[in-house]
Structure 1
C-alpha cells in the first residue's frame, strides 16, 4: 500500500510517500481502508519530534474509512471514524491507504454523514465537546474567548460554544478568516488588542473562559481577559510554548484557573467516547454544526499540508485523501 512514512523527525519535508507493508491488526484491532485522514497539530508535533514517536512511523491520528475486518459489534464494510485511538507518543497510521485501529477507538459513522465530513469533524468535534462540557462547563449567558477562531478547531469550538448558549469573542489574523469566523457565530477582534476588547465587550467583567491554541504570544493577554474565577485553557502552542505560569498571577488575577487538557483523557472510556461522538454527529445531522474543509489533498502533498498548518495559513480542516 501507499503511505506517508517518517523515518526521522524534522521539518515537513520528512513526510515522504512510499510503498509500505499493509498493517497487520494486533488482537483488539481492526483493519480499515482509509477514505480520508484529518491533519492536526499533533501530527505536526509527531513529525517534528516535539512529541517523540519511535521511527519509522506512519503519522495521522484521525480519519475515516470502511472496515476490512469485522469486529464484535460491526461487520466488514461498516463505515467508521477514529480520533487519537492510540497513546500520545504513538503514530496512529492514518496517512495511508489502510490502517489498523484499536476497536475501542472506532466510532460508527451514521447514515447521512459522509466519510469526508466524519474525518473532518471527529477530532475537533470531540475536543470542542470536552472543552465546553467538561473542562469549562459553558452555561447560557457565558462569554468565552476563542483564539484562532477560523482554524479547524476554532470554527468547531465557536459553534459548539454557541450551541451551549455562549457568546463567543474570536481572534483572527486576516479579513478572510474574520469573515469565516463571523459566519460561525464569533464576534471577531484582532490579536493586538483582544484583552482590552474582551473587557470592553463584557462591561469590564472579562470572559468566563479563554480557549488558547496559540500559546506564547497570547498567554499574558489571555489571563488579562478573564473574569474573576475564569478558566484559562491552553490547547496548544502554535506560536511557541508558554515558558512559565506563576501561580501568584492566578491569585491576583481573580482566583483564576489554568489547565492544559488533552483529548486522550476525555475519551479514554469507550462509553464516554461514543456519547461525545453521538452528540457531534447529532449536531451535524441537525445542521447545528457545520464543518469547513479548507483543502482536500492527496497523500503526496502531506508536507504541504503540514507546512500550511505550521504557518497558520489554513482555514478550517485539511484532509489527506489516499
Structure 2
C-alpha cells in the first residue's frame, strides 16, 4: 500500500484527498518506483481544477524521483536498485510508490540528488524543448520569458546564459526580477509597474524579440504578440493566469507575419529515445554547473493542499517539492 493523493471531483485544493492505494507488481514495459521526492507543477493545478480534464477518480502528479524496486518484462534501461527520475504520463506521482510505464523513467546520475531530480524533470525538459526543439535558437538571439522567477523560469535564465542567448525576464515583483537577473537573465521587467511590451521594445531598439516563451496565458498573451519582431515566434506553453484567448490569424499577419505554437512536453518526450536523449542533455547542464536547481519550498505529502495554494497565489519562487 502507498499513501496517494487523489481527486474524486474537480475543484480547489480542498478537492485533493490522501488515501492508501495498493501498488502491485509491474507488468511488461513497466517499473515499480518508490519515491524519495515529488515535484509540483502548474499542470497539476490545471488537472485538479478541470482545466485539463481527467477521468475521475484520479491520482495527481507528473514528476518524481526515487529508487526502482522492480521492473517488468522488456525493460532494459533500468533495473531494481537504480536511482531514477521522470516527468511522465499518466498522472500519479503524488504517492509513496507506484507502478508506471518505464519508457519515460530515466536513470538518475549519482551527482544529482533525489530532490533535484524531482524538481527538475518536467521543468528542465520543458526548457530543453523550448530552446532546442520548438524553434532554432542560437547565440545572440533574444527571448522574452514570462514568470522568469518560477521553477521553469530560473532554469531557462541559466540555460539561456549558458548558450549566449539574451533573455529578457518578466516577473511580478522587484525581488523576483532580481532573482531572475541573479540566475542569468540579461534584463528584467516588473510587469506590475505597467505594460511590459513598450519596455521590451525599448530594450530591443524597437526591433522586438525573436521568441516569446509564455506560460502565463490570458494576462500576457496580447502584450506578448506586441513584443515580437516580424516573423517572430510566440510559444504559449501554459495558462497560469487563465487560458489565452482565441487567435485572429489576420492579426498575426498585420503584426508582421507572426508565428505561434502551443507545444507540450509530453509530445516531445513521447518516444523513449527522444525522452532519454533530452534527459541526458538536461543532466549534462546540471552536472556541469551551468544550471543549478533552486528548491525554495518543501511540503510533506499530507500538506499538498497548502502547496497548491502557495503555487496558485504566486507566493513561490524556484521549484516546490513534496516529501512522501
Residue of structure 1 in register with 2:54 after alignment: 53
5+ unaligned residues in a row in structure 1: which ranges? none
8 Å CA contact retained: 2:26, 2:32: yes
Give the match's secondary structure for 2:70. coil
2:206 is matched with which residue: 200, 204, 207? 204
**How far apart, CA to CA, are the structure 1 residues paired with 2:276 and 2:182?**
29
**How far apart, CA to CA, are the structure 1 residues paired with 2:205 and 2:213?**
20
Residue of structure 2 in register with 1:139 after alignment: 138
8 Å CA contact retained: 1:228, 1:254: yes
**How far apart, CA to CA, are the structure 2 residues paired with 1:10 and 1:210?**
31
2:164 is aligned with 1:170? no
Shift of 1:134: 1.5
8 Å CA contact retained: 1:93, 1:100: no
8 Å CA contact retained: 1:31, 1:98: yes
8 Å CA contact retained: 2:160, 2:184: no
Stretch moving more, 170-179 or 200-209: 170-179
Question: Deviation per CA, 1:211-239, whole angstroms, max 9, x where unpaired?
Answer: 11111111111011001111001011111
Shift of 1:23: 4.4
Give the match's secondary structure for 1:209. strand
Shift of 1:22: 2.0
8 Å CA contact retained: 1:131, 1:137: no
Distance 1:300 1:197, change over 3 A: same
State the TM-score, normalized to the length of structure 1: 0.95
Residue of structure 2 in register with 1:312 after alignment: 314
Give the match's secondary structure for 2:282. helix
**How far apart, CA to CA, are the structure 2 residues paired with 1:230 and 1:182?**
24
8 Å CA contact retained: 1:62, 1:94: yes
Residue of structure 2 in register with 1:81 after alignment: 85
Residue of structure 2 in register with 1:42 after alignment: 43
Residue of structure 1 in register with 2:188 after alignment: 188
Shift of 1:57: 1.8
2:156 is aligned with 1:157? yes
Residue of structure 2 in register with 1:105 after alignment: 104
8 Å CA contact retained: 1:138, 1:164: no
Number of paired residues?
317
Shift of 1:175: 2.2
8 Å CA contact retained: 2:174, 2:190: no
2:274 is aligned with 1:263? no
Shift of 1:73: 2.8
State the TM-score, normalized to the length of structure 2: 0.95
**How far apart, CA to CA, are the structure 1 residues paired with 2:5 and 2:220?**
33
5+ unaligned residues in a row in structure 2: which ranges? none
Give the match's secondary structure for 1:104. coil
Distance 1:148 1:23, change over 3 A: farther
8 Å CA contact retained: 1:138, 1:161: no
